């Protein structure tokens, strides 16, 4: 589909087309399209930009990843379709492993996601086939199957765009979980140690830049950045921000001069037509 750059929602349509394309290749499942739509709705409420709160979470996440001994970035279909190049860049910057972990697991999907990650420059990909033979307790979906060289032994796991069960299980196993989720009400957002309430597409490049910036800081300074963050307080602020935006819009009304002008013109024409028929 050709997307005209002057379309007011060009970027949003481009991203949607990308995810639909990967649905065709098998990397993304149909439920992934539903998840994307849910994300888009929350992004509207956020104003489609990275907020100060999200930035604080990103900084804490970057420090946590740099301090980790065995960090792993978990990749599912949506993440591979939307941000695979940044996944590889981030892994190289902070020294993380990359592991494929799917809710709707199939060999065909694993192959499609492996292909995307390889094309994006990934050298080592964990969690494929028999390599994912360890189990996370208390998770009943395919997500329970993990790689013993990766998520099983990780101290820090980044789960961009996830469902709640595994986040809860990983936290109960004593791991630090970093989530990127536009929905501050999701179970993932609430269970994670650090939740970046932002679009994964905007958050990933900032996370990489932030990690590069603080990479050479002393561990003591990184620890300060990592631990001064409060997830539940930050989620509250994200909800507050959405509420504030909606209240403001509700009070002011939605006013777009061009739209108002056209409606005024149409109204006048309708009334003059009614007068003519009398
Ligand atoms: O590839 P699989 O089989 O592992 O399945 C992946 C999906 C996404 C289908 C699976 O994890 C799932 O069902 O997820 P949920 O429970 O729908 O949760 C996805 C969460 O991500 C929701 O809270 C969305 O608001 C959020 N989300 C969607 N798109 C984005 C996002 N958050 C950040 N950036 C996005 N672009």
Please list the pLDDT of the chain residue by residue as tens digits (278 residues).
777 787 878 888 889 999 999 998 899 999 999 999 999 999 999 999 999 999 999 999 999 999 999 999 999 999 999 999 999 999 999 999 999 999 999 999 999 999 999 999 999 999 999 999 999 988 888 889 999 999 999 999 999 988 788 899 999 999 999 999 999 999 999 999 999 999 999 999 999 999 999 999 999 999 999 999 999 999 999 999 999 999 998 998 877 778 888 888 888 887 777 766 66
- Residue 17 CB contacts under 8 Å (≥ 6 apart), including other chains: 1, 3
Cα(64) to centroid(ligand 1), Å:
23
Q: How far is CA 233 from CA 102, 191, 222, 228, 254, in A?
A: 30, 13, 20, 11, 30
Residue 223 CA, ligand 1 centroid: distance in Å: 30
Pocket perturbation via mutation, ligand 1, pick of 163, 179, 187, 205 by most ligand atoms within 8 A of CB = 163
**Token pair belonging to 50:** 């990275």
Strands (DSSP E) contained in 59-175 are 71-75, 97-100, 134-135, 145-146, 156-160
Ligand 1 in reach of 83 Cβ (< 6 A): no
Q: How many residues does the chain have?
A: 278
180 CA: nearest ligand 1 atom: 33
For tokens 């979470």, name the residue. 57
Query: What is the pLDDT at residue 85?
Result: 98
Predicted confidence at residue 219, as pLDDT, reads 95
pLDDT of residue 1: 77
Instruction: Calculate how far, in angstroms, residue 258's C-alpha sits from the geometric centre of ligand 1.
Output: 36
Q: Based on the number of CB atoms within 10 Å of its own CB, is 120 exposed (0-12), middle (13-18) or buried (19 or more)? A: middle
Give the pLDDT of residue 278: 60
Q: Is 184 in the pocket of ligand 1 (CB under 6 A)?
A: no
CA of 163 to the centre of ligand 1 (A): 7
Q: 59: which 2 tokens? A: 């900084």
CA separation for the pair 269, 249 (Å, rounded): 29
Q: Distance (Å, rounded) from C-alpha 4 to C-alpha 136?
A: 46
Residue nearest to atom 12 of ligand 1 (CA): 163
CA 81 / ligand 1 centre spacing (Å): 12
pLDDT of residue 254: 77
Q: Which atom of ligand 1 is nearest to the CA of 161?
A: 21
What pLDDT is recorded for position 236?
Answer: 97
CB of 54 closer than 6 A to ligand 1?
no
Our answer on whether the CB atom of 31 is closer than 6 Å to any ligand 1 atom is yes
Q: Tell me which H or E stretch contains 64.
A: helix 52-67
Q: Report the residue among 181, 191, 202, 205 best suited for mutation to probe ligand 1: largest number of ligand atoms under 8 A from its CB.
A: 181
Number of other CB atoms surrounding residue 156 within 10 Å: 25
């Amino acid at each position: 589909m050709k997307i005209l750059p002057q379309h007011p929602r060009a970027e949003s349509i481009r991203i949607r087309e990308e995810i639909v394309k990967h649905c065709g290749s098998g990397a993304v499942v149909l439920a992934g399209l539903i998840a994307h739509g849910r994300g888009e709705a929350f992004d509207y409420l956020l104003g489609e930009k990275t907020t100060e709160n999200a930035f604080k979470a990103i900084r804490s996440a970057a420090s946590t990843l740099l301090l980790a001994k065995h960090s792993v970035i978990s990749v599912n279909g949506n993440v591979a379709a939307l941000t695979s190049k940044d996944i590889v860049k981030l892994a190289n910057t902070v020294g993380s492993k990359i592991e494929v972990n799917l809710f709707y697991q199939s060999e065909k999907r694993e192959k499609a996601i492996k292909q995307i990650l390889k094309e994006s420059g990934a050298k080592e990909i964990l969690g494929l086939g028999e390599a994912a033979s360890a189990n996370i307790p208390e998770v009943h979906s395919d997500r329970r199957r993990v790689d013993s060289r990766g998520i099983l032994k990780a101290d820090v796991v980044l789960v961009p765009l996830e469902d709640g069960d595994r986040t809860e299980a990983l936290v109960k196993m004593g791991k630090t979980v970093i989530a990127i989720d536009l929905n501050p009400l999701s179970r993932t957002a609430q269970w994670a140690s650090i939740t970046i309430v932002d679009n994964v597409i905007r958050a990933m490049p900032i996370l990489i830049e932030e990690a590069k910036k603080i990479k050479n800081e002393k561990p003591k300074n990184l620890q300060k950045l990592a631990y001064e963050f409060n997830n539940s307080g930050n989620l509250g602020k994200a909800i507050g921000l959405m509420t504030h935006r909606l209240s403001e819009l509700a009070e002011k009304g939605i006013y777009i001069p061009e739209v108002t002008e056209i409606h005024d013109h149409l109204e006048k024409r309708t009334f003059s037509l009614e007068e003519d028929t009398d």
